[in-house]
Amino acid sequence: MPDDGPVADGRPDQPVGGSPDDASELHGLGKETTPEVLPAREPFRSLLRWLGLVEQSTGVLLLLVILLLVLVQVAQRYLPGGAAWTGEISRFAMVWATFVMSGYLLAHDQHIAIKVVDYFLSVRALGGIRLLGHALVAATCLAMMYATYDFMTHDRGQVTAAAEIPLAIIYAVVALGFASTALRAVLIIVVLDLPELRTSKKGLA
């Protein structure tokens, strides 16, 4: 039997809609071990790829901000004076990084998950559970995005205590994170989950 290459969670180790050459490049040093789920058609494929790059770059930048501000806080213990805003911004940066990277991590199947039913359910049942899970993720993110938008529309010009950052900006980053995660969840349903269900049904027919 021919070797089809590494398979993770029953899914081919290559970008959806990509060529075999793309899959071979994944095994090089520094390449993604779990390729990003992307639509096959342009321009949506390129747009989502650029969105992933922006999210990844923003996440790295926020981590650097956290590192720098924590080092500043340590130095403040031994220097006169102090700036309370360093601790506040570092905390907000951690929250922002969580939401900014949420959609990117979902597209790469890198969210923390405990896999229990994967080992004893049939392919068709497992595909249905995956579809249900991604549908719940999309619905929850859309609901939370609406709730965050409601906070923004009812904002009365409040700012944070130390850095005086408008709360509308805090909420906006969170809303964008929910929107990105919901988009990726719907994309996974369309690109992966539904085709897998159709394939499993044909195999049982």
User: Amino acid letter at 139?
Assistant: A
> What is the mean pLDDT of the segment spanning 113-129?
83
Q: How do residues 133-191 score in pLDDT, each as one tens digit? A: 999 999 999 999 999 999 998 888 899 998 999 999 999 999 999 999 999 999 999 99
Which ranges constitute the DSSP H helices of the chain?
A: 20-25, 44-76, 85-107, 123-153, 167-188, 194-204
Q: Which of 6, 2, 12, 1 is nearest to 199 (CA)?
A: 12
Position 79 scores a pLDDT of 82
Tokens matching residue 99: 């939401």
Q: How do residues 64-102 score in pLDDT, each as one tens digit? A: 999 999 999 999 888 877 788 999 999 999 999 999 999
Determine if the pTM surpasses 0.85.
no
User: Amino acid letter at 176?
Assistant: L
Query: Which of 14-18, 57-61, 152-156 is least confident?
Result: 14-18
